[in-house]
Amino acid sequence: MWFVAIGCVLIAIKLAGVTAIAVWSWWWILSPFAAAAVWWVIADATGDTQRRAMERERKRVEDRRERHLAAMGLDIFSGKNRKRRGSPPPNRKAP
């Protein structure tokens, strides 16, 4: 994303004719877009994009689940008592 933003800024400066960037070759001005394309191909090939999407989805589902539990008054995992779901209850001594 940063490559695309840098490319847009360079195009704007080149078209405005400001500073020394105005005399640069168009190859240098457009090179950040090529770098962005290469970055996206590598990120997709390594699975980084899919991992991030799965993590966002997991977080969204977990947040929704917690909101629903809180709305039903079952938010026992909120605040300082937040524990991992599925953990056994603490041991208590019998009276």
Chain segment 14-62, per-residue pLDDT in tens: 999 888 888 888 999 999 999 999 999 998 888 888 888 999 999 999 9
Asked which of 15-19, 46-50, 72-76, 90-94 is least confident by mean pLDDT, the reply is: 90-94
User: Distances in Å between the alpha carbon of 89 and those of 21, 78, 79?
Assistant: 65, 15, 17
For the chain, the structural domain boundaries read 2-46, 49-80
pTM (two decimals): 0.54
Query: What is the SS3 assignment for 78?
Result: coil
